[in-house]
Chains A and B, each alone.
Chain A
Amino acid sequence: MASSKAFNATKADKIFDIINFIIMALIMVVTLYPFLNVLAISLNDSTDTVRGGIYIWPREFTWENYKTIFSYTGLIVGFKNTIYRTIIGTVLGLISSSMLAYTLSRQDFASRKFVSTFLALTMYFSGGLVPTYMLMRHLDLIGTFWIYILPGIVSAFNVFVIRSFIDGLPYALQESATLDGANDFKIYYKIILPLCKPVLATIALFLAVGQWNSWFDNYLYNGNKPHLTTLQYELMKVLASTNQGSGMANANDLANQMAQVSPESIKMAITIVVTLPILFVYPFLQRYFVSGMTLGAVKA
């Protein structure tokens, strides 16, 4: 009797496994297909694309679309600004969140409770769009590159993720360093930072992706400053070229220029260019950010 029961269970198990496998495979297709489709269209001759029917393979292969977009100055400027903001924003964000996280991990730090609460509260409320905009105006940050960097330097979530990681490190290391006469900054710099590499990689990815993908600050504060344009904003302008009036209230001359209907293949080529760098990095950082997210969930 026992054996027949086990047999039934395995049969049901097998059916379950097969169905589960099919569902998961379908999810993969649904996730990947759009990207492959975009890639195929971007590599297809733009006049031929109009005929439709391109799925995951280009029909008339060409690099022409990519050549065209790289001759467009807006994209080059956008590239530069996006790279600058990604590098500067990530480095400053890493320094700030790791320093703050270290001080918060020190149980003996006299103002730990206060700083921690002060930081945590920012996760639950914000002044909102208009007051923030007015603040930027008062600080004269509108129309500058620094508006991309300064407002987001300290992020509570990132600090708490790093802090949970530091909490998991053996305290004896810090203690012995103290006995050797190292001051708190030295401990942070010489001991904590090197040990935090995995979590710092996670946070670096979060920060870099955030910077790379942001468009709203560009739209809101620097929409009419062609020299401060970013990649996402350029992509937005190009993509909006057929969706008339999709909220492009700040459209300037350059935007209007680009808003001449661009061929589908050109649009898709820009999409790929904007997306590609991230697609190259994230799989390599996967094992880090998975543990990073978990740490964040515990604390946040």
Chain B
Amino acid sequence: MKTLSAQADTRNVSVTPNPQKKRKKGFWRTVVRQRYLYLMSVPFVIWLFVFNYLPIWGWTMAFQNYKPAKSFFDQKWVGMKNFVDLFQDERFYLVLRNTLAMSVMGLIAGFVIPIAFAIFLNELRGKFFKRTVQTVSYLPHFVSWVVVAGIITKMLSRDGGVVNEILLALHIIDEPIQFMAKGQWFWGIVTVSDVWKETGWNAIIYLAAIAGIDGELYEAARVDGAGRFRQMWNITLPGIRTTISVLLIMSIGHLIGIGFEKQFQLSNSLVTDYSEVLDLYALKYGINIGRFSYGTAISMFTSVVSIILLLAANGIMKKTTKESIM
């Protein structure tokens, strides 16, 4: 890397006796010299602009009474009206509650369990078994939420679902429970499904981090008489602290934008009071009913809160553990 960049630097410097003017010239000269690099990147920058940045422009809709047939300049501006409507809608608070409940549950379970899984998997003796467990644990990650929801519904079904059968056989319950019809179970079902689907996958990063820990540390600990749990607690966990912090910040950033796939696929009309999340709410009002401006206000709320959470998490982590992603 160094040689070429150094070369480029010296070239730039050598042709700039009159900085202001020549620098501009130097830039275009570089563009011409690096034309292939520009050809390989500019199209995708335009691409990103169109598909990722232009929708942000769409946020203006949140302040309008948007009518699809009219041009931007003919739209009626309504100020904060859509946000006022949103904050006055009781449904919004219900949806916000659901979103936060499921994301916090998902954050805790989806965070602690993969770490624990990785640590215990690492302690497993026998290379072959270890590898098999790992391969199997990834499997659900590769399957769509449509399939997972189908499987979960099947496993939890009242007639013949394996969960009910086990509970019946153990005499924990006397009658099969219709899990999917009970609103109060929904958050738990979503969380457990998510754990089932992603634990193995999420553990990959931690396993990689664990593999990077110096083996001598374990040996030294063993000599000092530390048991397996002690070793996990005092060596493995601190060893993957950086990884944990970075991933935690990222998950907090996604706390409110938890998506909607699992909720969409697992829900049914009986549990909507517990299953509806912000994105589904935006989908229903914004697109299915056609209140585009209102839907945009919801989307915008979600994005803004996500960014605030991300920055806050990053700031706090920076202060307390000196880890950060930005």
Please report A residues at the B interface, Cβ cutoff 8 Å. Answer: 5, 9, 12-13, 16-17, 20-21, 23-24, 27-28, 30-35, 37-38, 41, 52-55, 96, 99-100, 102-104, 106-111, 115, 118-119, 122, 124-135, 137, 139, 150-151, 153-154, 171, 174-175, 178, 183-185, 188, 209, 212-216, 220, 232, 235-236, 239, 243-247, 249-250, 267-268, 271, 274-275, 278-279, 282-283, 286, 290, 293-294, 297
Contact = CB atoms under 8 A, between A and B. Distances in A.
Interface residues on B, range: 35 or more
B236 interface: no
B142 interface: yes
B220 interface: no
B307 A153 contact: no
Interface centre among B34, B180, B300 (most CB of A within 10 A): B34
Contacts of A118: 45, 48
B58 A185 contact: no
Given A130-B299, A150-B51, 16 more contacts: A9-B222, A12-B227, A16-B228, A38-B151, A108-B7, A122-B53, A127-B55, A128-B300, A131-B296, A134-B292, A184-B34, A188-B40, A268-B154, A275-B147, A282-B139, A293-B204
Nearest to B39: A185
Given A33-B162, A279-B139, A175 B37 contact: no
5 contacts: A35-B139, A110-B34, A175-B3, A184-B37, A271-B150
Given A249-B288, A274-B144, A294 B160 contact: no
A126 B303 contact: yes
A287 B170 CA distance: 41
A101 B283 CA distance: 34
Contacts of B121: 24
B47 A232 contact: no
Contacts, number: 276
B153 A243 contact: yes
Contacts of A16: 123, 227-228
Contact of B144 (A27, A106, A110, A232): A232
A124 B228 contact: no
B129 A108 contact: no
Contact of A31 (B34, B137, B204): B137
B301 to A, nearest CB: 9
B139 A31 contact: yes
B208 A293 contact: yes
B25 to A, nearest CB: 13
B30 A183 contact: no
Interface string B132-159: 1101111110111111011101110001
